[in-house]
Every structure is written in structure tokens, then in C-alpha cells.
Structure 1
């Protein structure tokens, strides 16, 4: 039948053609049964008309609404049992903390002894064994001391690099090596003055040059380590290189940069900005994703960035969040063409973060 006005749409109606947002994202797919809240979503997205099955003037069977409610939602909304999630996460956190202790010991002893690579691999495998419970935007260490920032960044980067390698479709043989690249990318910091690494004020030229040497120090420390490939060593050297050649230490461009270094660059920036430091509060993961999006134009690999953003924001409807103004709500729809700006329901009202740009998601609660 012809398109009808959104004002005439009744809950229980069936959409017979994809409903598309003004920016081109699919709001509701063909075949969706409209629920009462969906009408509000249509209005919030300024959709004028939709194509509905049958005669809209007829009474809508109640079973249509019930069936739609029962199926809400699988991809976009099966609510996770929080007690099950908390229980499974305890194992993830346990293995995370073991990995944190081991990487801390390894970093501290590397100048005097060889890196215990096989112990690191064994613990990394145990940690990755719990990867199903790791969500980049949701996971937070149980304990986070300011002085342990670099070690947390290493372990989180390892987990995230493994996931990025999977998401981007790289061969399975690369997944663990990508995780090693994340784990060891900043190992060169052990040869840099710790006071510079934690200095709360801007570094002067000489200090900045010294800190930047951690990339070459890292490559040197990993040069003779067995059980890792050359890509892991190059990730330590190249993770601050930029696609346009403006990075350091070698000013490499595009294809000259190893893919592990490109993966680590994204994971490292994300965790560096979302972890709290002694002199700087943790930033909103959603704002960091938007900054990564900006950096993908000439600085970071655009395919890796886009994949990372799409996968990390692929959250279930019903995910509870805290907005930047302190209000709590839940995600009710994510337009895949603008994944960092979903629609959220707050205090009974729908807030479209695409329209209200001054607001953003500060934190994922559950």
C-alpha cells in the first residue's frame, strides 16, 4: 500500500519496506512489527512516512504486539542477565590481574634479565580464554592505581588488539601475535625516566625527544626475543607512526607501517585516553571513538578505525548508560551510520544524541 503518515501508524503494524533515516541508516528493517515506543523513535528521527502492510484502518491483532515484544530484541536487544555476566566476569578479572602482575614484573626486570616470554604467552592464552566476557567499552579493572597506568594500558591493549585482528578478518595465526604487539608495544618506556612519563605539565623539547625514544628502545629490547614475530617488534617501533608520514620515529607512510603497528595505534590511543591518570580524568569512550574517527583521515588506518568503532558500539538495545549531564538512561536505537550518537531513553523521554550534540554518553553502566 502507499506510504502513510507516521502519525497514523499503529503499534502492531508490519513494515514492508526498510525505514531509512535522513542520513541513510536503516532505522527499522523490512518485516519489523511496530511497538508503541517505535512510534516515538520514528518521530524523533523526523521520519514523515512509512510503508505498512495491509489496511491501516483495520484493527491490529493484539498477538502482533505480543509477538513483537517477545522477540525484542535479539541483535538489538536481548538483555543480559547481570548475575551471569558478573559471575563470568570474575574469571576474566582474575586472569586480567594475573596478567597485570606478570607484565609488571617483566617490565621491571627486562633491563637485567630476559623477558619471560613463555610465561607471558601462557598467561595471555588464559586471559584470551575469557575473551567472550570482554567488551572494550564496558570492561574496567577492579583496581586501578595511578602508578600502574602503563601496565593496564599494556594488558588492555593486548585484549583489544586480539579482537581488532579478529574483527578485521586477519588470519588466526596473527591474532595472538597482535595481542603480543599490544602487550609489549610500550616496553621501551622502562628505559625512559619515569618522572617524564608521569609529568603532569607539558614536556619541553628535550624531554619530548627522550620520551619518543621509547619506540626505538622497545625494538631493541625485543630484537632477540623468541616466540614473537618481527611484526611484534615493529609494532613497538612504529605504533606512533601516522599514515601521512607525520608520526615518529621514522616518519613512515601508509604501507610502510606494519599492520600490527596500525592495530596497536588504535588500541593504544583508545585506552590511553579512557584510563584515568594521576593528572587527568578518564575521558568518555564515546568521545574518544569520535576522536579516532577524526584521526582516521590521514593519521590512522581508516579500515581499522571504522571496524573498531562499528564493533565496539554494536551494543544491545536496553544497555544502560550515564550521560555527560549525569542522567541515567538506556540505549534504544543505534543508527549504524552514526554509531557514537545513539538514541537513548532518559526519564521516560527519548533523547537523540545526533541532535543534542552537547550531550554524549559518559559511561556504559550495564
Structure 2
């Protein structure tokens, strides 16, 4: 059959058979013309061969590729989220991965060239079309490579910021700009020494100062970018400011912080704490929500935080969960005054997490 290895594909080649990921999703459809960035997407999905017009070769793609993906990912330092493998053929995951590749390329090029803002907008539009399938507490990337944490945080913060802008009743014209604010809030990290961003041990005072400069670097990089508004630029600058004036870089108080930055601050903290890293396990989303609630007293915008918590925990009764002690159960009632500590049924018994403070929901299964 007309196969060619991904390493030999040239931009402009035409795909003559759907490209299927080893996990079962359609990555690229028949008839697609390969663009330069598509080659990196194929590599990111660990696709070995593709059938293209005019190529000669033998089809060697088999079911054995599935365990091979896990082996290759492990060698590359990836954390594979087993709980989402069954859902990984969803269009949301497909567009998420394409957005991830594009933001990685864009961040890497940002210091030397202008951001491909219209291409970013196009892919963000495609991603947002599947927002109905995105649940903040349930969604997880298929594979999280150690070195790609910042890119995952960017894409997830974009989705969550869009949701928060909706939930808080901001005008529709602000929803996509809030998503851009989430997507680009950490673009200044491209000018920070990557070794500092990946350092597993505590930073020294000078190193902390350098990492904190990512906020001003980000504003500078976005200053002349078209198709985004000033709020997006200010979100890059202000997303670490606190409403009591204790944040950085300018120690602004709540009245001086743009509302995009207040939205992104919540999304960024949530995903920073719930994404796993090579040197730190992902934290329970429910414990992170409780931490956000504490931060809403003087640090984060209380209305945004409370809206975020109420909306994300608004799950239907019967939602299956895993508790911190490893037992599985299902939610049977959520007290709106204590949304992070619902009543769950476990092994035929009712567990009230309001009273069982040593327990918490570790993960939503389905």
C-alpha cells in the first residue's frame, strides 16, 4: 500500500486514507493536504506511517502499535492518564492536541517572531466548538510530557477562562478574549531560563525574581500583537496580582486589576495544581477548589471563585468518583453550602464528606 514514514513526509503531500491515532481517534481525514505544522502533530501523536498520494511502501500499522505508544511515551518522560484512554477518541481531545502543538510552536517562536495570532484564533475557534464536552473537573489530557506542562496549562486555562467568562455573565464579546488571555498569560515564560521553570527544588531569591519577570516579559511580547485587546495583554501582566495588593509585579489592588486577569488567575491556579509534573503528583481537584475558596478571602476575586466552584461541582447525582482512600463510589447529594464535600455512596454505605474531613474526592471517574 502507498505508505510513507512520518519522518519522510513533505509539506504539500495529500493524505489518501484517514490517519487514526493508536487510541482510535481520527487525527487527519482523507484528502487533507499536509502543512508544516501537521508534521509535528503527527509526531506528537507518535504516528509511524501515513498513506499519502504517490508514495510506495508496505502498511505496517497494527494493533500492536497501542502498547508501543505507551512504551515510547514512557521513554520520552510522559505521564499517561489511563483514566482518559477510553475517551481519547473524542473530537475535543483531538482539537486539544492540535491546539497544544500550535501553542508550543507559537511560544517557542514568540521571542524571535510575531505570534501567529490568526492561526491561533482559528484553532481556538475549533476547540471552543467542542466546549459542551469540556468539564473542568473531568477533562484530562491523554498524555502529559514532563517538558510540556506550561503548554497544557495554557490550553486548559484558555478553555476554563472562556467558561468562567460565560458563567460570570460577562458580555459574549469578552468570552473569546478571555480565552486568549488564558492561552497567552504565560507567554513571558519563553524569555525565562527553562531550567528555572523545570527546577524540582526550591528557587533562590534571585531565581524567584527572574521567574516573576515572566509577567512583564509577557506584556512586552503582546504589546504589538493585533487581534487581541488590551485586557489580554494586561492578563499576562497582572495574573499574579492579588486584590489585597500583595501580588506582583506592581502590587495592584483589586480595583486596578483587569477582570480578564482575575479570571485567568483562578484558571491558572486550578490547572497548575491539578496537572501532574515529573516531580509532583497532580492534586485532587476538590482540594484545589477548597484552596481557591480560602484564597478568595483577600487574594482572588470572591465572585469569580464562588461562581467557579458552584459551576464545576454542579454534577448530577450518580457521578462516579474515587475517594482519597482508594474506594470507589458515586455522588448522591451535593449541599450547595459545601459543594466540595458532597454525600457519596460507597459500598452500600453513605459517606458524608462534610463530617469525614480526613477523606476527599480524589478523582471523578465518569
Do the structures match in fold with TM over 0.5?
Answer: yes
Partner of 1:210: 210
Partner of 1:246: 246
Partner of 2:149: 149
1:176-195 pair list within 5 angstroms: 176-195=176-195
Deviation at 1:308, TM superposition (A): 0.0
Distance 1:211 1:111 in 2: 16
Contact 1:100–1:151 at 8 Å: present in 2 too? yes
Partner of 1:302: 302
Per-residue deviation, residues 38-81 of structure 1 (Å, max 9, x unmatched): xxxxxxxxxxxxxxxxxxxxxxxxxxxxxxxxxxxxxxxxxxxx
Partner of 1:116: 116
Deviation at 1:87, TM superposition (A): 6.8
Partner of 2:198: 198
Distance 2:126 2:99 in 1: 9
Partner of 2:227: 227
Per-residue deviation, residues 124-172 of structure 1 (Å, max 9, x unmatched): 0000000000000000011111110000000000000000000000000
Partner of 1:104: 104
In the alignment of these two chains, the number of paired residues is 282
Contact 2:88–2:142 at 8 Å: present in 1 too? no
Deviation at 1:88, TM superposition (A): 9.6
SS state of the match for residue 144, structure 1? strand
1:10-89 pair list within 5 angstroms: none
What is the root-mean-square deviation of aligned Cα atoms in Å? 1.2
Partner of 1:237: 237
Deviation at 1:255, TM superposition (A): 1.1
SS state of the match for residue 315, structure 2? coil
Distance 1:91 1:126 in 2: 10
Deviation at 1:222, TM superposition (A): 0.1
Partner of 1:175: 175
Distance 2:309 2:289 in 1: 6
Q: Which runs of 4+ in 1 moved over 3 A?
A: 86-89
Distance 1:301 1:270 in 2: 14
TM-score, normalised on structure 1? 0.76
Q: Name which of structure 1's ranges 107-116 and 302-311 shifts more when overlaid on structure 2.
A: 107-116
Contact 1:274–1:283 at 8 Å: present in 2 too? yes
Distance 2:254 2:99 in 1: 33
Partner of 2:139: 139
SS state of the match for residue 90, structure 2? helix
Distance 1:355 1:301 in 2: 28
Q: Tell me if 1:126 matches 2:129.
A: no
TM-score, normalised on structure 2? 0.76
Partner of 2:165: 165
Partner of 1:272: 272
Structure ranking higher on relative contact order (CA contacts 8 Å, 6+ apart):
1
Partner of 2:38: none
Contact 1:177–1:228 at 8 Å: present in 2 too? yes
Per-residue deviation, residues 248-300 of structure 1 (Å, max 9, x unmatched): 00000011000000000000000000000111100000000000000000000
Contact 1:323–1:329 at 8 Å: present in 2 too? yes
Go from structure 1 to structure 2 and tell me whether the alpha carbon gap of 1:89 and 1:178 turns closer, same or farther (over 3 Å shift).
Answer: farther
Contact 2:274–2:283 at 8 Å: present in 1 too? yes
Distance 1:271 1:195 in 2: 21
1:301-340 pair list within 5 angstroms: 301-340=301-340
